[in-house]
Amino acid sequence: MRLLIKNGRVVDPANNIDAALDILVADGKIVKVAKDIKANGAQIIDAADKIIIPGLVDMHVHLREPGREDKETVESGTAAALKGGVTTLLAMPNTTPAIDSEENIALLKKIIGKSAQANVLICGAISKGRLGKELSGIAELKKAGALAISDDGSSVDNDDLLLDAFKQAKEAGLLVICHSEDKALSGKGVVNRGLIATRMGLRGISHESEYLRVERDIKLAKKTGVKIHIAHVSCKESVILIAAAKKQGVKVTAEAAPHHFSFTEEAVLGFDTNFKMNPPLRSKADREALRQALKDGTIDCIASDHAPHTENEKDIEFDRAEFGVIGLETELSAAITELVETKLLDWPRLVEKMAVNPARILGIDQGSLATGKDADIVIIDPKQERLVEKQKLISRSKNCAFLGMKLRGVVEYTIYKGEVHPWNS
Ligand code: DOR
Ligand code: ZN
């Protein structure tokens, strides 16, 4: 089967391309990118006025399987990913059981083999059961196929244990993804600490609970030379620490989630639990710092932190609701609306944040539209606006912060390994 995508604007910063070009696909691979390609008998997609980019790489996704298939499965989560233009994702290990051993990686791989609709990469747990007490066999996780390790959802409290983990990860050549949070400081907080929390009578989560841990994680990375990646950066102090560490040559990268660069703590004033996540939405100044950090490169990439929860776990009192929101189906449109439409990023920079850089951080061969690469391609109508509606979301959970909002930029087709998925919004 051959596929010819004609007349679109191809934005492929990995190859320094931003031009009107055609793309020819055969047997799941990109075989030609050029002007006016002729291909008799090929299926044709007319992409006039559309933007064509490499499939997105989302390095922070909670698929919930094994263990919480009521929230999401590998199948439903990867279908949602494709709908959002994400063709490769890194699955976080806070499942039941946690992905902390060779056997559990084998179990997850089996599920992926059977039901994944997109490319699923595996993140192993730093500690056994993610309990922060004893390290999982880090070399063993790498051997079994993990691309990174993280205790995401929690931070490793014990400095000595983390130092040991960093040393082993360095030895094994594994990336460490840091959920930087001091639970002793965030405690029972549910929103950003400040006037809004006070006004609402809710307990706050301070900036310190994040940035003191970012500071520690960077210090240990510097000591060991391991590559670390700071997940879901939410406040400006963390941005300043990451920028300083990069200047000193520490091997640190960072991500921001769409909810953090789109909303502020004011969004929680209506007690809508779809604005409850960890770390919490912060102040306007923090949101601005994240946006500037995306622009200046301090923050390397955008990742959804797709965190599905059931209605029973979200549609309850703010204090009791679970932390987290889904994001796979809205992250690209949110980024277009908040970053491209506002002229903060141009299209090539956006593609860097959502495909090229996460692929580089993970050391995988994605995020490029060069000849010979997998035909993972997204075709976007950049002008079309779409209302985010619950009944149109295909993720098994519907806890989306963008519900009821109009977002610009609609994924018209996702092509995954040459297979065409058309979406009629
Ligand atoms: O809001 C969050 N939800 N933050 C995390 O770190 C974990 C995630 C989840 O797994 O639900
Ligand atoms: Zn996290």
Name the residue at shortest CA distance from atom 5 of ligand 1.
153
User: Residue 24 in contact with residue 15, Cβ under 8 Å?
Assistant: no
Q: Which domains does the chain have, with CATH numbers?
A: 55-362 (3.20.20.140)
CA–chain centroid gap for 106, Å, is: 23
Is the CB of 150 within 6 Å of ligand 1?
no
Residues 6+ apart with CB under 8 A from 277: 257, 259, 305, 307, 323, 324, 325, 401
| pLDDT given at position 424 | 74
User: Residue 306 in contact with residue 289, Cβ under 8 Å?
Assistant: no
Which residue(s) pair with 245 in the sheet? none
User: Residue 192 in contact with residue 134, Cβ under 8 Å?
Assistant: no
Q: Which atom of ligand 1 is nearest to the CA of 277?
A: 1
Please indicate whether residue 305 is annotated as part of the active site. yes
Whole-number average pLDDT of the chain: 98
Name the residue at shortest CA distance from atom 9 of ligand 1.
307
Gap between the terminal Cα atoms of the chain: 25
- State if pTM tops 0.75: yes
Is the CB of 72 within 6 Å of ligand 1?
no
Distance 324 CA to ligand 1 centre (A): 5
Eight-class DSSP state of 243: H
Distance 403 CA to ligand 2 centre (A): 22
Q: In the chain, which stretches have pLDDT less than 50? A: none
User: Residue 187 in contact with residue 197, Cβ under 8 Å?
Assistant: no
| pLDDT given at position 1 | 82
Which residue of 60, 61, 94, 190 sits with most ligand 1 atoms within 8 Å of its CB, as the best mutation to test the pocket? 94
